[in-house]
A = this chain, B = another copy of it.
Amino acid sequence: MKIYKNRIKSLCEWMQKQKIDAVVIEDTEGRQTKNLRYLSGMDSDALLIVFSNSETVLVAWDVIMAEKTAFADKIISYGDFNRNFCKAVKQICSAKLTEGTIEFSSSTPYVLYNELEKELYPFTIKCRAEGVDEYLLNLRAVKDEVEIEIYKEAGLLTNKLINTIEAAFIDGSIKTEIDAAMLIESEGRKLGAEGTSFETLAAGAGRSWGIHCIPAYSSDNIGTVLQGQAGGLSIIDCGLKFKGYATDITMTICRGSLSDKQEQMVELTKKAHNLAAEKASHKNICANELATAVDKFFEETGYIMPHSLGHGIGLDVHEAPSIKSGTPFKKTILPGMIFTIEPGLYDKDAGGVRLENDYLMTESGAVPITASKIIYLP
């Protein structure tokens, strides 16, 4: 519980400086936010109101779940407000305050904002690009000691999983994309994870040209050689959820004898991964700088990487910091940040290759917490 109290305390200090009297955080279908879980322990489907004196009210769709898992001064059923967002906010805020400023998420739809502004009069409504979401994004990006300990464990579990996947390719027990995904789902949970952190992407050599294959996995063969070819590239992109926190890794499986182009794509991806890991191992590196170095490296060889180099991980599988080029901002990767490095190249005929690992930035530079790899099979 202490961890939630500390987080609420930090938020309230910021609220007081910003002259915000209440902050409303809602996780609902179509507008999910892990800020809810970060501040209350409640995983999803609830509305949290934080007052600047640090009082909290949680309005939950599943009130039994809230009572069993969440931390808040008061827990109310969403049914009491006929599941109406405006009504719940108005009643709860009016019971505490006669006037003041209420801040909502920057993702609040324009249409809902207009409704809130009308319904919540005489309260002042705030919804800012650089408001409470931005504050919580930055707070969440730098992991505290409890979170770093969780990640150390999560990294170990993920590495066990990587070894299990490799062994299953070597002994031939993974034949189809389904086999790979099922192994990951069941082994991950047996290892103690809550589950996978996102739907496993398992793309055999016929589909690895997609950055994120659709469907996520199928009955296609994986790690095998396609008819009429000497070799091929398959991709597995997966992660575990441990105590709410996501890991995220990608392995590439090279089967048979690769074409010159495939060979080159694999080598370049490995070099890009190692280049990025080496650069990140020094302290005070900027996210932008790191990503630009890799983009340049690929461009000099005539390839283009069609996605970002990496991203922060945490309660969300994608969170701050964003490790991408082309942004005008110089943002240093701070000690406590946990992020992926995941260079990849894709070709509609040759297929795709990606290598992804997770890193923790420390006072002296980034250290890997996962050990994903490129596997070669005969």
Contacts and interface: CB of A to CB of B under 8 A. Distances in A.
A362 interface: no
Contacts of A68: 348
A306 B61 contact: yes
A282 interface: no
A190 to B, nearest CB: 7
B44 A214 contact: yes
Number of copies: 2
Contacts of A218: 189, 194
A119 B129 CA distance: 16
Contacts of A45: 212
Nearest to A209: B64
B127 A82 contact: no
Interface in A247-294: none
A348 to B, nearest CB: 5
Contact of A306 (B63, B189, B194): B63
Contacts of A43: 214
A44 B209 CA distance: 16
Contacts of A304: 79
Contacts of A195: 199, 215-217
A19 interface: no
A64 B30 contact: no
A77 interface: yes
B178 A182 contact: no
Interface string A282-321: 0000000000000000000000101100000000001000
11 contacts: A44-B212, A65-B210, A65-B211, A67-B348, A108-B109, A108-B110, A110-B113, A178-B186, A182-B186, A194-B218, A195-B217
